[in-house]
Amino acid sequence: MKNAKGLFTSNIFWIVLFSLLVIVCVIIIFATSHSPKSGKFAEIYSDNRLIRTVSLDKDDEFTVKSKKGYNIIRVRKGKISVIESDCKNKICINQGEVSNDLIPIVCVPNGLVIRIDSSETSSDYDAEI
């Protein structure tokens, strides 16, 4: 059986070690979650032509017109969305706000495609081929 002094020293060691581990984890989480989100852009294509590149860091709202119709696009808080369209099915509007490059916003009737380009930031994928 250990003496009381050895048991006390052992408990203090583990408490200090655990506390340091928690502090390091909090610092890492804070540093990674508050990093700047610069480098994210949206590329807007109409009829397979790149017509505009917008930064997701700046709020904006604009209209893209083509021979097939129009779409009103909104950039807000690092996300992009189609908020109005004259197409019949409104899938582009119902898709909502997009902030990553996993799924583009597509309006097939109007020939509109919006892709996020975040090549300057770290990838959201677990692996790349």
What is the pLDDT, as a whole number, of residue 120? 52
DSSP per-residue string spanning 18-83: HHHHHHHHHHHHHHHHTS--TT-EEEEEETTEEEEEEETTS-EEEEEE-SS-EEEEEEETTEEEEE
What residue type is 119 in one-letter code? Answer: S
Q: Is the pLDDT of residue 3 over 70?
A: no
Q: How far apart are CA 35 and CA 86, in angstroms?
A: 38
What is the pLDDT, as a whole number, of residue 122? 43
Both tokens of 17, joined, read 């070690």
What is the pLDDT, as a whole number, of residue 4? 60
What mean pLDDT, rounded, does the chain reach? 83
Q: Which pTM value belongs to this model? A: 0.61
Q: Which helix (H) or strand (E) holds 102?
A: none
Cα Rg of the chain, angstroms: 24
Domain ranges of the chain: 1-35, 41-117
Confidence of residue 5 (pLDDT cuts 50, 70, 90): low
Token look-up 């390091």 returns 24
**pLDDT tens digits along 75-120:** 999 999 999 999 999 999 999 999 888 889 999 999 999 999 866 5
41-117: CATH number: 2.60.320.10
Q: How far apart are CA 119 and CA 117, in angstroms?
A: 6
